[in-house]
Structure 1
Amino acid sequence: MARIGIIGSKGRMGQALADAIVAAGHELAGGIDQGDDPLALARQSDVLVDFSAPAALEANLDAAATAGVPIVVGTTGLEERHHWLCDHAAARIAVLQTGNTSLGVTLLAHLVREAASRLGEDWDIEIVETHHRMKVDAPSGTALLLGEAAAAGREVALAQVAVRGRDGITGARQPGAIGFASLRGGSVAGDHTVHFLADNERLELKHLAENRAIFARGAVRAAGWLLGKPAGRYTMPQVLGL
């Protein structure tokens, strides 16, 4: 049993995490939100789970590192500087950062990488994601995670081949491009489909999230797995042994 602290406890994910912690037989060490002290929470926890906001990440990582406790970062909308902060903290503590804590999505990313590696560039790749109307970032962290998996399968950098939205006279599709499309509306928890399209045939790899509880369960499993790990950067595929 681990004492797990929640950063972002009053949000929808925070509430789901609290339920998942208890269901998994762990202890809820407490929770904080904007304006609260992350160091106080870190000192009473065995591991932290952060689903807050990118602006709070630096303080949260500093608190975890100061207290010497591992941290699972599930916050989305991160930029290059945030990943540098994760690398910096990982020199002192175990850090698992991911765009999606769902175990199903983790396996999906593995399959996407395999498909992209084995299918040639004559197979076009398009990633379509749908989320609730209140989501503030696009493409979703999960879509980008899947894009990174596809790019890794092709041994290219996603930044060099990504196409984020099309409008007007765009010209023909560029070979090797990985396209993204984002839909927003209703109360959709998160749907992601990776399309592999060739002449006369298509392959679709899909994950449908029906409830945020799946992300909470995955995050709690990752938190338990992270306990006792040496300092470094870790990933969800490692949690599943992929």
Structure 2
Amino acid sequence: MIDPIRVAVFGASGRMGAALMRATVATPRVQLVAALVRAGSVQADAVVSSLHGGAAESMCFSESLSAAADVLIDFSAASAFDQALAIALEHKIALVSGTTGLSETQYQTLHAAAREIPILWASNFSLGIAMLTRLARDAAKALADWDCEISEAHHRHKQDAPSGTALSIGDAIAKARASTLDDSAIYARTAKSGARKAGEIGFSVVRGGDIVGEHTVFLIGEGERIELTHRAQSRDIFAAGAVRAAAWLAGRTPGVYTIENVLGLSD
């Protein structure tokens, strides 16, 4: 009999935490062993089912990991990310993280930790977004003189803008064109004058209602354009992708991995 992959969820008291626990419980050969919250959380020691129904019967939220685990899934906030990474390093377990808005120092710390544990960070765990990014990258490289714009829309409560997913797509496009996002990105045109410059990657943002997530990449040539769009209709797709990534990452050697590795799409 094959042992189950033991998963701990960090940021478990939030909406994504609930979705992750549901996905973990529903996935064969994966076992939910801990529901973790940030230090000082008012949910610490509360019964999970009191907040999330039957997602984890008789389990309590905890600030520390006491159960044996193979992988930690972190969907928290930048302010709590350091605690999640510290837990993974302390227990020498794999880390799957979808926390966005990280500082440059946090990214550096994350990559340094990959010398000790396997790490997979992604701004979006939708398998469709992974494919959209791949298609956009390849199309932008082939159509290097076409203008590129990225539009994204999310719910009114989203904190960062543009979304981490939009920035990741833009970064992939910039690299495909032998540039960097720092050199290419235009986040606002209100203060700009003059014509659009070659190589720019423009970003536009919509916030409102309960939009889960929409991303469109425009590649615009003379007399024609390509629009690549992904629409997420449920947070459950992100949770399912993260649990799939966790099952794939558990037990691997230390290093940095990507969603494309999980899907077998990496070059």
Q: Is the 8 A contact 2:39 2:63 kept in 1?
A: no
Separation in 2 of the partners of 1:41 and 1:34? 11
SS in 1 for 2:216: strand
10, 14, 26: which one pairs with 1:11? 14
Distance 1:169 1:139, change over 3 A: closer
Q: Is the 8 A contact 1:42 1:48 kept in 2?
A: no
Q: Is the 8 A contact 2:70 2:251 kept in 1?
A: no
Q: Which runs of 5+ in 1 are unaligned?
A: none
Q: CA deviation at 1:193?
A: 0.1
Separation in 1 of the partners of 2:91 and 2:216? 40
Separation in 1 of the partners of 2:192 and 2:129? 34
Query: Which of structures 1 and 2 has the bigger CA Rg?
Result: 2
197, 203, 212: which one pairs with 1:180? 203
96, 107, 112: which one pairs with 1:88? 112
- Equivalent residue letter for 2:170: G
Separation in 1 of the partners of 2:65 and 2:135? 37
Identity %: 45
Separation in 1 of the partners of 2:39 and 2:122? 24
Pair 1:104-2:128 in alignment = yes
Which residue does 1:127 correspond to in 2?
150
**Normalising by structure 2, what TM-score?**
0.87
Q: CA deviation at 1:215?
A: 0.2
SS in 1 for 2:252: coil
Structure with more contact order per residue of length (Cα contacts < 8 Å, sep ≥ 6): 1
Which residue does 2:52 correspond to in 1?
none
Superposed CA offset, 1:151-182 (max 9, x none):
12112111111011221453211110001111
Q: CA deviation at 1:82?
A: 1.5
Separation in 2 of the partners of 1:115 and 1:57? 34
Q: CA deviation at 1:63?
A: 1.6
How many residue pairs are counted as aligned between the two chains?
241
Q: Is the 8 A contact 1:9 1:32 kept in 2?
A: yes
Which residue does 1:59 correspond to in 2?
83
54, 65, 70: which one pairs with 1:41? 65
SS in 1 for 2:65: helix
- Equivalent residue letter for 2:160: D
Pair 1:218-2:241 in alignment = yes
Separation in 1 of the partners of 2:181 and 2:106? 18
Separation in 1 of the partners of 2:179 and 2:66? 38
Pair 1:23-2:47 in alignment = no
Separation in 1 of the partners of 2:135 and 2:178? 15
Which residue does 1:200 correspond to in 2?
223
| Structure 1 stretch displaced more, 77-86 or 198-207 | 77-86
Q: Is the 8 A contact 1:39 1:64 kept in 2?
A: no
Separation in 2 of the partners of 1:109 and 1:162? 16
Q: Is the 8 A contact 2:187 2:203 kept in 1?
A: yes
Q: Is the 8 A contact 1:42 1:64 kept in 2?
A: no
Which residue does 1:74 correspond to in 2?
98
Which residue does 2:141 correspond to in 1?
117
Q: Is the 8 A contact 2:33 2:67 kept in 1?
A: no
Q: Is the 8 A contact 2:12 2:36 kept in 1?
A: yes
Superposed CA offset, 1:106-157 (max 9, x none):
1111111101111122x10000000000001001011011101111211211
Which residue does 2:51 correspond to in 1?
none
